């Protein structure tokens, strides 16, 4: 007790780690160098720390690391894929769509936005703009980029749909 | 970022209840963590022990009989908003659940935890009270059932004993001709106000008295005395205004980040009328 061994699949790679019970998931992933996941409000309001836990978006700032035991965790670093033999990762359609639409200014909220949007598109491959807004309302952008964010998610849905 | 604590993973209700008894006030029941981890981070609460109930398999079921929905204590808002039985049998509640906080809180947080924490700015209690829902509590000594209206006794206060845990929430299903509405407003992550209304309307009149419950403006939800509205014209704006006045008299708002007392009284009036309008807009 107090400290335990956990097994998780982190961005597709099986990991075994020892963590103390009170360690938060954001501390775990950032401690492993995955610093794309950002801390901001620290109270589940802003969404910058969003990661996927078994496919569900959660606030890693308010999730214990031990909850990842036996489960899969995806952070922003896990989205781009590296084709065999290639050294240049291929961006996820959401990442590409955010660039195409200039759906960020400072970029601090972007990893959380993209991870939240991935969970949305995994469940609803073709959401209408109202569904996008409802799903994303817990992710805050203080540079006021919401219109382009909603458009980027719509573009990504089409990109992914077209690739099917 | 959090001070040291130990998590105890209970695998049965009995074991969880024993841990409750053993640690008393030094332990909190832990499922989604969306409330207690926040409270601990803010430093307003400290529990050296958390009793994790998520591994108790019997607690994660949502089931329905023809007159009751039973929601297990570890069912998350995410589970409830997606459950086909809830959507079919109690759509107003499914909609409420789909609008609790944000998608991440819904993915982790449980309905039982929401009730047990008794945060005044919450959505579920008002509608659950209006529907006559109950919680099933268990302790080492046995089990009992308590109406949600009696569970929450004040701000962050419940009638639960230190060794009790919630195992399920039971919601009686309203008869087919009963209309159910829940309307809310919020500028922050939690509701500034939520008003639940439940009534049967026939030939434009209330059959018996409507039920109106106001949540989130007060230290706890308040049921509005409505006996005088039995048989009243349910379509009449005058009836809605009188119900709004009754609601304003029934609450004792507290000033906080969501607004002043005067502002909240205004919200109570406006949203009680909107709840009435929503009831009338519902196909019965």
The shortest C-alpha distance from B5 to chain A (Å) reads 6
Res. A1: pLDDT tops 70: no
Res. A82: pLDDT tops 80: no
- A interface test, pick of B39, B103, B113, B190 with most A CB neighbours within 10 Å: B103
The Cα–Cα gap between A139 and A150 comes to 12
Res. B284: pLDDT tops 60: no
Q: Which helix or strand (DSSP H or E) is residue B196 part of?
A: strand B193-202
Res. B6: pLDDT tops 90: yes
pLDDT value for A58: 98
Contacts of A2 in chain B (CB under 8 A): 4, 6
Identify whether the C-beta of residue B226 lies closer than 8 Å to the C-beta of residue B212: yes
Q: What angle do CA B258, B216, B87 make, to 5 degrees?
A: 120
Contacts of B108 in chain A (CB under 8 A): 56, 58-59, 62-63
Q: Which helix or strand (DSSP H or E) is residue A129 part of?
A: helix A129-136
Inter-chain residue contact B2 with A58, CB threshold 8 Å:
no
Q: Which residue has the tokens 């268990």?
A: B138
Write out the two tokens for A20. 């103390």
pLDDT value for A89: 85
Beta bridge partners of B201: B206
The shortest C-alpha distance from B56 to chain A (Å) reads 15
Share of chain B above pLDDT 90, in %: 97
> pLDDT, tens digit, for every residue of B192-246?
999 999 999 999 999 999 999 999 999 999 999 999 999 999 999 999 999 999 9
The Cα–Cα gap between A18 and B108 comes to 23
Res. A79: pLDDT tops 80: yes
> pLDDT, tens digit, for every residue of B45-64?
999 999 999 999 999 999 99
Q: Which helix or strand (DSSP H or E) is residue B193 part of?
A: strand B193-202
Terminal alpha carbon distance of chain A? 46
Res. A17: pLDDT tops 90: yes
Nearest chain B Cα to A112, which residue? B104
Neighbours of B255 (CB within 10 A): 11
Domains of chain A: residue spans and CATH: 3-78 (3.10.20.30), 93-163 (1.10.150.120)
Q: Which of A22, A42, A57 is closest, CB to CB, to B103?
A: A57
> pLDDT, tens digit, for every residue of A129-164?
999 999 999 999 999 779 999 999 999 999 998 765
Identify whether the C-beta of residue B56 lies closer than 8 Å to the C-beta of residue B19: no
Q: For the whole model, what pTM was predicted?
A: 0.96
Q: Which of A1, A42, A138 is closest, CB to CB, to B102?
A: A138
> pLDDT, tens digit, for every residue of B95-114?
999 999 999 999 999 999 99
pLDDT value for B70: 98
> pLDDT, tens digit, for every residue of B20-34?
999 999 999 999 999
> pLDDT, tens digit, for every residue of B151-173?
999 999 999 998 999 999 999 99
- Radius of gyration of chain A, Cα coordinates, nearest whole angstrom: 16
Provide CB contacts within 8 A for A139, sequence distance 6+: A46, A47, A48, A50, A109, A112, A113, A116, B102
Inter-chain residue contact B108 with A27, CB threshold 8 Å:
no
pLDDT value for B1: 79
Domains of chain B: residue spans and CATH: 6-52 (3.30.43.10), 57-172 (3.30.465.10), 178-281 (3.30.390.50)
Write out the two tokens for A80. 């781009």
Sheet holding B134-139, edge to edge: B62-64, B68-72, B165-172, B134-139, B142-147
Inter-chain residue contact A135 with B103, CB threshold 8 Å:
yes
Inter-chain residue contact A2 with B37, CB threshold 8 Å:
no
Inter-chain residue contact B104 with A21, CB threshold 8 Å:
no
Mean pLDDT value of segment B74-86: 98
This complex has an ipTM of 0.96
């Amino acid at each position: 007790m107090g400290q335990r061994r956990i097994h998780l699949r982190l961005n597709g790679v099986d990991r075994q780690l020892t963590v103390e019970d009170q360690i938060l998931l954001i501390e775990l992933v950032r401690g492993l160098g995955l610093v794309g996941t950002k801390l901001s409000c620290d109270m589940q309001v802003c969404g910058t720390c969003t990661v996927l836990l078994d496919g569900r978006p959660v606030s890693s700032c308010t999730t214990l690391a031990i909850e990842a035991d036996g489960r899969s965790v995806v952070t922003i670093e896990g989205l781009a894929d590296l084709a065999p033999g290639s050294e240049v990762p291929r961006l996820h359609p959401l990442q590409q769509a955010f660039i195409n639409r200039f759906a960020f200014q400072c970029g601090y909220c972007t990893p959380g936005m993209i991870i939240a949007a991935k969970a949305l598109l995994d469940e609803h491959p073709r959401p209408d703009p109202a569904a996008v807004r409802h799903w994303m309302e817990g992710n805050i952008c203080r540079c006021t980029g919401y219109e382009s964010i909603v458009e980027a998610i719509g573009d990504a849905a089409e990109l992914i749909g077209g690739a099917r | 970022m959090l001070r040291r604590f130990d998590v105890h993973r209970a695998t049965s209700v009995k074991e969880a209840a024993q841990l409750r008894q053993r640690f008393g006030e030094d332990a909190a029941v832990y499922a989604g963590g969306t409330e207690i981890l926040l409270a601990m981070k803010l430093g307003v609460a400290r529990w050296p022990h958390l009793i994790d109930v998520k591994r108790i398999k019997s607690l994660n079921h949502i089931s329905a009989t023809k007159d009751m929905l039973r929601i297990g204590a570890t069912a998350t808002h995410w589970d409830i908003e997606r459950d086909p039985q809830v959507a079919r049998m109690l759509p107003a509640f499914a909609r409420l659940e789909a609008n609790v906080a944000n998608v991440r809180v819904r993915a982790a947080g449980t309905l039982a935890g929401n009730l047990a924490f008794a945060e005044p700015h919450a959505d579920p209690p008002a509608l659950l009270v209006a529907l006559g829902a109950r919680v099933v509590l268990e302790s080492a000594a046995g089990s009992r059932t308590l109406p949600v209206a009696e569970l929450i006794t004040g701000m962050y206060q419940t009638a639960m004993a230190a060794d009790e845990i919630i195992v399920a929430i039971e919601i009686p299903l309203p008869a087919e001709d009963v209309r159910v509405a829940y309307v809310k407003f919020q500028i922050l992550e939690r509701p500034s106000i939520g008003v639940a209304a439940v009534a049967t309307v026939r030939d434009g009149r209330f059959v018996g008295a409507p039920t109106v419950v106001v949540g989130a403006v007060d230290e706890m939800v308040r049921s509005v005395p409505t006996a005088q509205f039995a048989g009243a014209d349910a379509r009449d704006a005058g009836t809605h205004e009188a119900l709004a006045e009754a609601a304003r008299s029934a609450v004792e708002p507290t000033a906080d980040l969501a607004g002043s007392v005067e502002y909240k009284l205004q919200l109570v009036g406006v949203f009680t009328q909107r709840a009435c309008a929503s009831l009338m807009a519902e196909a019965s």
